[in-house]
């Protein structure tokens, strides 16, 4: 969802969305497959190894292990909050309070923030809304903390989206729901988080896209 988004498909370029380059949806240095060809996969950069955050990994130089662990925990929590607010705003794009909660996850100057504003306005104007699918999830594969800094971190996130974008204003003549987009999509994206007013997203870069299937590692057992 790129602007990468945690909800990759619903935030990427398509006839139904002005966004992309989030995320999930995910923006600056956006990448992924060509919506016209759906090449699978089509990474704009090097493929990253699928691995989860390892709290026991060696700390970055000049930072104590406690500092690195604290940053990683804070960024992971901020990403979960972002994911939750994204789904909430998607469920009702006309709700300004939900939109503001989502925008709070971005710095004021972030390119992805401007994309999200445009995207939500697009959905609201057309009375489109999104619903999370039963299999939608994301995995934080790693969180990189640069040497000597506790105010910036890059989270490599892989998200799978099996949700639905639908017309919330009207239904089909037979009374069924009008589906705008329900194509499966998964993406791997680098989110750059900075500590400003709390942790906020400053930029995003999608590195891998898989259209029509889940290319992400399995989710952690609950």
**165: in domain:** yes
Q: How confident is residue 62, by pLDDT bands cut at 50, 70 and 90?
A: confident
Residue 184 lies in a domain: yes
Residue 221 lies in a domain: no
Q: Is the dihedral of CA 17, 109, 4, 205 positive or negative?
A: positive
Distance spanning both ends of the chain, measured CA to CA: 23
For the ranges 14-23, 49-58, 115-124, the maximum mean pLDDT occurs at 115-124
**pLDDT value at residue 148:** 85
Its pTM stands at 0.74
- pLDDT at residue number 222: 66
Q: Tell whether 43 is covered by a domain.
A: yes
Predicted local distance difference test score (pLDDT) of residue 63 = 82
% of the chain surpassing 90 pLDDT: 66
**Residue 66: how many CB atoms within 10 A of its CB?**
9
Which residues partner with 167 through β-bridges?
Answer: 128
In a domain, 158, yes or no: yes
**pLDDT of amino acid 52:** 45
Residue 216 domain-assigned (yes or no): no
In this model, does residue 156 exceed pLDDT 90?
yes
Counting the structural domains of the chain, the total is 1
| pLDDT at position 23 over 60 | no
Taking alpha carbons only, the member of 22, 192, 209 closest to residue 116 is: 22
Mean pLDDT along residues 196-220 = 95
In a domain, 4, yes or no: no
Question: What average pLDDT is seen over the chain?
Answer: 80
Report the CATH number at residue 189.
3.10.450.50
Does the pLDDT at position 2 exceed 50? no
Mean pLDDT of 9-35: 35
Name the more confident of 135 and 32.
135
pLDDT digits (tens, 9 = 90+) for 89-120: 999 999 999 999 999 999 999 999 999 999 99
Q: Has residue 175 got a pLDDT over 70?
A: yes
> DSSP state, 146?
-
The reported pLDDT for the residue numbered 220 is: 79
Indicate whether 103 belongs to any domain.
yes
Contact 184, 212 (CB under 8 A): yes
**Per-residue confidence (pLDDT) for residue 10, from 0 to 100:** 46
Mention every residue, 6+ apart, whose C-beta is less than 8 A from residue 151: 194, 195
> Which residue segment(s) compose the domain that 51 sits in?
9-170+179-211
Which tokens is 125 given? 């104007």
CA distances (Å), origin 176, targets 27, 167, 181: 34, 11, 15
Looking at residue 5, its pLDDT comes to 53
């Amino acid at each position: 969802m790129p602007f990468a988004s945690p909800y990759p498909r619903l935030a990427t370029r398509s006839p139904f969305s002005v966004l992309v380059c989030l995320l999930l949806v995910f923006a600056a240095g956006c990448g992924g497959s060509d919506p016209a060809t759906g090449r699978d996969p089509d990474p704009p950069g090097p493929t990253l190894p699928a691995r989860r955050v390892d709290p026991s990994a060696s700390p970055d130089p000049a930072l104590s292990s406690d500092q690195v662990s604290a940053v990683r925990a804070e960024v992971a929590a901020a990403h979960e909050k972002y994911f939750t607010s994204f789904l909430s705003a998607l469920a009702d794009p006309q709700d300004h309070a939900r939109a503001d909660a989502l925008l709070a996850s971005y710095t004021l100057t972030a390119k992805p923030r401007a994309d999200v504003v445009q995207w939500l306005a697009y959905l609201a104007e057309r009375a489109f809304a999104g619903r999370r699918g039963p299999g939608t999830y994301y995995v934080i594969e790693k969180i990189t903390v640069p040497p000597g800094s506790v105010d910036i971190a890059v989270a490599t996130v892989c998200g799978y989206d099996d949700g639905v974008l639908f017309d919330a204003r009207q239904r089909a003549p037979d009374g069924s729901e009008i589906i705008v987009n329900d194509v499966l999509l998964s993406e791997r994206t680098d989110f750059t988080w900075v500590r400003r007013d709390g942790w906020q997203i400053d930029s995003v870069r999608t590195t891998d896209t898989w259209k029509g299937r889940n290319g992400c590692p399995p989710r952690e057992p609950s």
